[in-house]
Amino acid sequence: MPRTEKSAEAKARADSVSPGASATDQQKPKSKLSTAEARREYQRRYYQMHKEKAKEYQRQYNLTHKKKARGRGKSSFAAPREVVRSTFNTSDLMHAPVEKTVRMLEQIIKGERFFTM
């Protein structure tokens, strides 16, 4: 008896599909994408839809904002600013070579730098 019920249900479902539906309409839906894949797909579609607007925005931005001057050769060399640190911590002292640790301790004792825990 259960077999006939199941086969009747299957036949009813098959009949409920419209006779003009193509084979692709009757296939199972695509498997769900992972979160990362879904995000990438969404971003790809969004980019494709708004590509022209983004290009126009970039054109306008480039017209209204000046680029940094870029020079070539030694004349354009600008020395990077030194990072000014006023403190040493325990890991600085522990992980530095012996000679450097001595210099650090001298700076702390002289009051040039502070020591933090």
Give a yes or no: residue 21 inside a domain: no
pLDDT band at 116 (very low <50, low <70, confident <90, very high): confident
Domain residue limits at 90: 84-116
User: pTM score, two decimals?
Assistant: 0.30
Give a yes or no: residue 14 inside a domain: no
Burial annotation 54-91 (CB, 10 A radius, 16+ → b, else e): eeeeeeeeeeeeeeeeeeeeeeeeeeeeeeeeeebeee
* CA 53, 59, 64, 70 torsion-angle sign: positive
Give a yes or no: residue 43 inside a domain: yes
Give a yes or no: residue 70 inside a domain: no
Q: Count up the domains in the chain and report the number.
A: 2
Q: pLDDT per residue over 94-105, tens digit each?
A: 999 999 999 999
Per-residue confidence (pLDDT) for residue 9, from 0 to 100: 56
Which tokens belong to 70? 């870029």
